A and B are shown apart, each in its own frame.
Chain A
Amino acid sequence: MRHIISILLENESGALSRVAGLFSARGYNIESLSVAPTEDPTLSRMTLVTTGNEAIVEQIKKQLNKLVDVIKLMDLTEGSHIEREMMLIKVTAKKSHREEFKRLADIFRANIIDVTSSSYVVELTGRSRKLDAFIAAVGFDHVIEVVRSGPTGISRGDKGLTL
């Protein structure tokens, strides 16, 4: 099963490689990983997407907790949560397709943020599956380049993953 693990860790050099190293050393899957400092510059927030059966995901969480740089973590998939990923996608937009892609962007609530005579860059945010659907709708033949952030997430309700 797919799990989204949210981690609060010390914003120190090497903290990211401790997490990444743990996954490769123990043979865990890592689908995506996104990380940036929080409002408190000494803290980083990482969102990590992994897959595995219950026992493996349990081990992953315990091993992550064991890392000295990890302060707290939370398995977002255990509760109600919001998940967002951002994509920047560059598509060919020749005459015949320009209007259609513009409409498609509107339907997906995406923004066209760069325009040339033969291409668009589209910015799109949503659940990973929505981004997949946009790529499929554009058609692989028209895709020049895809850049995805990997999902980030936050739990619903008034409780947060804080110190």
Chain B
Amino acid sequence: MRELAVELSGAEIVVRALKDEGVEYVFGYPGGAVLHLYDAIFQQQDVRHILVRHEQGATHAADGYARATGRPGVVLVTSGPGATNAVTGIATAYMDSIPMVVITGQVPSAVIGSDAFQEVDTVGITRPCVKHNFLVKRSEDIAEVVKKAFYVATTGRPGPVVIDIPKDITDPAVKIPYVYPDKVKMRSYKPVTEGHPGQIKRALEILLKAKRPVIYSGGGVVLGEASKELTTLVQETGIPITQTLMGLGSFPASDDHFIGMLGMHGSYESNMAMHETDVLLAIGARFDDRVTGKIANFCPHATIIHIDIDPASISKNVRVDVPIVGCVKTVLKELLKGLKASKKKISKDSLKDWWKQIDGWRDMKCMTYVHSDQVIKPQFAVETLHKVTDGDLYLTSDVGQHQMWAAQYYKFNKPRRWINSGGLGTMGFGLPAAMGVQLAHPDKTVGVISGEASILMCIQELATCMQYQLPLKIILLNNGYMGMVRQWQEFFYDSRYSHSYVDALPDFVKLAESFGHVGMQVENPADLEGAMQEAFAMQDRLVFMNVIVDPAENVYPMIEAGKGHHEMHLPPHLRAERELA
């Protein structure tokens, strides 16, 4: 029996629908067009609002929450600048397929199109970077639109959905009956979940015949909650696995089958394995240019099997031989069933020669670096962080060299632990994203790895962290440069460091302290471990560690844009060995 419909205003309906959708947190910032909504938020306790200091922070925080939990992140911002400030965060979520619902206020219906104060065509501006968006035209439509928005955001290939609501639609004086729909009916949106059995069978036959197979898995395994199935597949077959930046953690990095991240800053062994493989099994990955390098040289000997929920991802950049459209978890389960039933088996033993070749590449030890007792090497800083935290952090990151070092040296063993902006590469992501992670997991330790350039892009969120007592641990690898820009300028522009030196930096210790947090400065390699232990022991405080690192260090291995996997640059101390190899 359904209870009698309550009478609510549009504003109350929005908030009530969020509650009925199971939303815990809304990340937002008030303004004129959303005043009715904020008044409705004020009068209830179920949905908790987190006040950020910039709308970009709201979207990244919601995004971090979604990445850490798998549940959609929710944002509420005002019209005009509120919406445009949110766009970077929406695009970030879109590129990494993160489920998010963003509610934007809009000027009253009657003045739409008249260049009213704080009016912007939000639906138009966000269209290319959302999975879908809605402009609500009647209060009666709110409940259904909210339901659809959550459904679209979280099903199929997830993504952000924007709901633009004109102010008059939320008028507190107009009350209408509220019923939250149980089901969504959308004739135009029906994501496929089950893989085609014939295709799965074909994939299986090809895999069973493979001599040099490689599994290449991406963020889809994290989003599709298929970590367990992937791990079983690798462990039962003994097939080597490499992962994209977005996939890290969905297979334990400590497992011997893991041959490292692939692509531009991937390991020597993974990229060489990609170059030599005869059967590539791509799972929830999208053949991004940072992964493939030059398409013409990509996996030149391989038959390619691709499992993905998004048909448009298949054969977009690289032609695929066996496409399987479906939810990765469901398809992997079917594949495992097929393997079990098959008379022929794949095992690490049957792949002995292939593993021998891979171990040969491994012996290159491409991730070694030259230690120093004078200056902190950034790689050493990440390794120390791993040691001090037992590799058990939720770690968010900004974008650049520190992001790559974290991906390479912080060995993630669990999914949803490594949270970074992979597709869009959004500097400023790390700190606000970590707020969302910490709110989602109040009992876990959340770290932020950042650079002195990235962190300044959303530094204002330190105030949010204070207001909500979020005890993040920020590890700033401070090299005084936009390191990745500097690295490219060193390699490709004859060391003309055009505007990549970050002059006039603040005193980060004092800066952290001025926001009410703990600031620490570390310059000596010998002090680093102790300092980190001290920082992580302060469980109820945000600690901002300004770690001064070697400004000259580069990220290796590196494949130049437009080169093939076999054309890697190794770190300088290994180059001679490669000549010999």
List chain A positions with a Cβ less than 8 A from chain B. 9-10, 13-14, 17-18, 21, 25, 55, 58-59, 62-63, 65-66, 68-71, 163
Contacts and interface: CB of A to CB of B under 8 A. Distances in A.
A21 B127 CA distance: 8
A62 B124 CA distance: 22
A111 to B, nearest CB: 39
B127 A70 contact: no
A59 B312 contact: yes
B344 interface: no
Contacts of B124: 17
Interface string B305-331: 000001110111001000000000000
A71 B312 CA distance: 16
A71 B187 contact: yes
A68 B312 contact: no
B266 to A, nearest CB: 26
A9 B188 CA distance: 8
Given A59-B316, A69-B188, A71-B187, A14 B123 contact: yes
Contacts of B127: 14, 17-18, 21
Contacts of B131: 68
Given A59-B315, A66-B312, A68-B188, 18 more contacts: A13-B135, A14-B127, A21-B127, A55-B319, A58-B315, A59-B312, A59-B316, A62-B311, A62-B312, A62-B314, A65-B312, A66-B311, A68-B152, A68-B186, A68-B189, A69-B188, A70-B188, A71-B187
6 contacts: A17-B124, A25-B128, A59-B312, A63-B312, A71-B188, A163-B187
Contacts of B312: 59, 62-63, 65-66
Interface residues of B, number: 19
A62 B441 CA distance: 38
A65 B311 contact: yes
A115 B561 CA distance: 63
Going nearest first, the 8 A-B pairs with the smallest beta carbon separation are: A62-B312, A68-B132, A71-B188, A25-B128, A68-B189, A62-B311, A66-B312, A63-B312
A42 to B, nearest CB: 9
Nearest to B310: A66
Interface in B461-506: none
A119 to B, nearest CB: 38
Given A17-B124, A25-B128, A55-B319, A10 B188 contact: yes
Contacts of A68: 131-132, 152, 186, 188-189
A69 B148 CA distance: 13
A80 to B, nearest CB: 26
Contacts of A59: 312, 315-316
A25 B129 CA distance: 10
A42 B187 CA distance: 12
| Majority SS at the chain A contact face | helix
A93 B55 CA distance: 63
A62 B308 CA distance: 13
A66 B188 CA distance: 9
Nearest to A42: B187
Nearest to A62: B312
A96 to B, nearest CB: 51
Nearest to B132: A68
Contacts of B135: 13-14
Q: Which of B131, B186, B188, B319 has the most chain A CB within a 10 Å cutoff?
A: B188
Among A9, A62, A70, A163: residue with most chain B CB under 10 A: A62
A139 B310 CA distance: 50
Interface string B88-123: 000000000000000000000000000000000001
Contacts of A18: 127
A55 B188 contact: no
Nearest to B189: A68
Nearest to B130: A68
Interface string B284-321: 00000000000000000000000000111011100100
A41 B428 CA distance: 46
Contacts of A66: 310-312
Contacts of B132: 68
Residue of A58, A59, A66 most packed against chain B (CB within 10 A): A66
A36 B34 CA distance: 36
Nearest to B311: A62
Contacts of A25: 128
Contact of B128 (A9, A10, A21): A21
A66 to B, nearest CB: 5
B412 to A, nearest CB: 30
A131 to B, nearest CB: 33
Contacts of A71: 187-188
Interface in B11-25: none
A149 to B, nearest CB: 25
A163 B128 CA distance: 27
Contacts of A10: 188
Contacts of A69: 188
A146 B189 CA distance: 39
Contacts of A163: 187
A65 B190 CA distance: 10
A55 B188 CA distance: 24
Interface string B125-146: 0011001100100000000000
Contacts of B123: 14
A70 to B, nearest CB: 6
A73 to B, nearest CB: 11
A163 B310 CA distance: 22
A65 B156 CA distance: 13
Interface in B177-232: 186-189
Contacts of A70: 188
A10 B188 CA distance: 8
Contacts of B314: 62
